[in-house]
Structure 1
Amino acid sequence: MTVTEIVPVDKRRSKVILEDDFTLVLYRGEIRKFGIEEGKMLSEETYQEILHEVLFKRARERVLFLLKSSDKTEQELRRKLKDGGYPKEAADYAIEFLKKHNFINDQDYGRRYVEFNSKRKSERQIQYELQRKGLDKEVIKEILREQPVDEVAQIRAYMKKKCLSPEEMDFKESRKMMAALGRKGFSYDAISRVLGGIYSDD
């Protein structure tokens, strides 16, 4: 691999840009230690040395630090490492370390997420957010079967907070409320159960 450019990130670190826009982020002392220079080749042997001596350990420390502030899924941690200039090999090593020591488990994360959000978010919204975090659709469905979201209770609580009563709302007000609840991701079935099913012909 040819080193095409070395770009400072801050006072201590630089991006080492290789061909095909492959990037490593190293401290300047490390760049000198491994003899990395613009326009020169980075041998596979040197690259493996950088991985095992520097980046594996640093990637592991990075993910452990990220988990101190909050739970994260495998995909979220991989994205953070990629954004930080860690190559896939280093990310794979760090993630396998976390799994081996039970620091991450996406299914357990999903269960905790549903438990925490089931009283304030619709099932559809929870599904969407967990998919964005990298959880498999079938895994999410299984978790929601185990821990159902009571959308009817959420809608009733929302309307109580707004000081609204379905019995006192006219057609226009009810239709407006249905649209608002739909945008929040609540199912038609849950909405119609609270609002009396007045839109069954729509």
Structure 2
Amino acid sequence: MTVTEIVPFDKRRSKVILEDDFTLVLYRGEIRKFGIEEGKPLSEDTYQEILQEVLFKRARERVLFLLKSSDKTEQELRRKLKDGGYPKEAADYAINFLKEHRFLNDFDYGQRYVEFNSGRKSERQIRYELQKKGLDKEVIQEILSEQPVDEEAQIRAYVRKKCLKPEEMDVKERSRMMAALARRGFSYDSISSVLGGLYSDD
């Protein structure tokens, strides 16, 4: 690997750009310590030394710090490490460390997420957000099977909050309300079930 460029990253660190746009972010003192210079090769031995002595530990400390503020999925942590200039080997090391010490479990994360949001978000919205965070569809399905989202309760709460009276609405107004609920991600079955039930005492 040849060092093609060294550019400032912040006040104390620089990006070491290697061939194929592969990038390491190191403190300037570390760059001097490992003899890294533009236009010169970076040996595999030196690269492994940087990983073992510097980046593995730094990546581990970074993910532990990130988890202090809020729960995160594996994909979110990997994205943060990549944005911070950590190579895949360092990210793998940090993620494996978290898993070995049970600091990271996407299934547990999903269960907590559903538990926290099931009273204010539709099932479709929860599915979408968990997939975006990197959870597999099968894992999400398993979690939702164990912890179903009560969409009908949410819809009833929405109707009460808005002081709506579907039984007094004309077809156009009723259709508009159903469309608004659908945009919030609620299923047609849940919407129809609640709006039908509102004709009698809730």
TM superposition score normalised by structure 2: 0.96
Aligned runs of 1:19-168 on 2, under 5 Å?
19-168=19-168
Aligned residue-pair number: 197
Please report the RMSD computed on the Cα atoms of aligned residues, expressed in angstroms. Answer: 0.9
Distance 2:134 2:47 in 1: 30
Deviation at 1:156, TM superposition (A): 0.7
Cα deviations by residue, 1:173-202 (Å, 9 ceiling, x for unpaired): 1100111111111000001112229xxxxx
TM superposition score normalised by structure 1: 0.96
Unmatched segments (≥5 aa) in structure 2: 198-202
Deviation at 1:9, TM superposition (A): 1.1
Distance 1:42 1:118 in 2: 51
Deviation at 1:64, TM superposition (A): 0.2
Distance 1:11 1:171 in 2: 63
Tell me the percent identity: 86
Deviation at 1:53, TM superposition (A): 0.2
Distance 2:9 2:143 in 1: 42
Unmatched segments (≥5 aa) in structure 1: 198-202
SS of 1:30 mapped into structure 2:
helix
Letter in 2 for 1:132: K
SS of 1:55 mapped into structure 2:
helix
Distance 1:68 1:93 in 2: 19
Deviation at 1:5, TM superposition (A): 0.5
Distance 2:118 2:10 in 1: 43
Distance 1:169 1:126 in 2: 30
Q: Corresponding residue for 1:4?
A: 4
Distance 1:108 1:143 in 2: 9
Cα deviations by residue, 1:43-99 (Å, 9 ceiling, x for unpaired): 000000000000000000000000000000000000000000000000000000000
Distance 2:95 2:106 in 1: 12
Counterpart contact for 1:174–1:195, Cα < 8 Å: no
